[in-house]
Amino acid sequence: MSDLKIAVILGSTRPGRNGKAVADWVIEQAGTRADADYELIDLLDYPLPHMDEAIPPSMGQYTNEHTKAWAAKIDSYDGFVFVTPEYNHSTSGVLKNALDYLYAEWNNKAAAFVSYGSLGGARAIEHLRAVSSELQLAHVRQQLSFSLFTDFENFSVFRPAPLHNNSVQVMFDQLESWTRAMKSVRQSAAAVA
């Protein structure tokens, strides 16, 4: 068992969502990895109301039980793969809300991005990169973008093109490397504190 824990966060709760098949494929591909343990987090299992904490997350003074549970879950991971649809040139509201709920629990960890949409979801990833930077998440270059036209049958049955098999391994290589480096950063900071 590896000492690195990476969460694959499914960023859509929409009925009939394509994201579940994409996230399951990412988990399946991660099953061949020896240097990190990957676990799926489905935001359906963490129903966070629209940000309802009175104090900014950067203060770390959470009052609601759903926030405390979400914080404990995210804090237990060293890195993340965000699986996002593209809605209106951005990520989903539910994923943005889940990110906005916390601050320190994201800091000095690594992230990678997997998207899907009519243009592969690339604009959703660009938005997530900006958000991740503000949360002090170190994001890797390699990303996966699945087109509804070429990677899904009838826009709903996920059938990724073979070229993604190599790309996902490159993404994992980068993510695991950065995740290990950021874990070292967190350990060094804790030793000084």
Task: Kindly give the confidence (pLDDT) of every residue in the chain, 193 residues in length, as a single tens digit, with 9 standing for 90 and above.
Answer: 579 999 999 999 999 999 999 999 999 999 999 999 999 999 999 999 999 999 999 999 999 999 999 999 999 999 999 999 999 999 999 999 999 999 999 999 999 999 999 999 999 999 999 999 999 999 999 999 999 999 999 999 999 999 999 999 999 999 999 999 999 999 888 887 7
Q: What is the pLDDT of residue 2?
A: 75
Helix/strand/coil (H/E/C) assignment for every residue in 126-172: HHHHHHHHHCCEEEEEEEEEEECCCCEECCCEECCCCHHHHHHHHHH
Structure-token match 């299992």, residue found = 45
Using CA atoms, how far apart are residues 127 and 111, in angstroms rounded to an integer?
13
Give yes or no for a contact between 103 and 57, defined as CB atoms under 8 angstroms apart.
Answer: yes
Convert the pLDDT of each residue in 40-72 to its tens digit.
999 999 999 999 999 999 999 999 999 999 999
Helix/strand/coil (H/E/C) assignment for every residue in 99-134: HHCCCCCCCCEEEEEEEEECCCCHHHHHHHHHHHHH
Domain that includes residue 94, residue range: 5-192
* CATH number assigned to the domain comprising residue 112: 3.40.50.360
Q: Per the confidence metrics, is the pTM higher than 0.85?
A: yes
- Domains in the chain: how many in total? 1
Dihedrals phi, psi of 125, to nearest 5 degrees: -65, -40
Convert the pLDDT of each residue in 89-102 to its tens digit.
999 999 999 999 99
Using CA atoms, how far apart are residues 12 and 44, in angstroms rounded to an integer?
8
Nearest-5° Cα angle at 59, 51 to 56 = 30
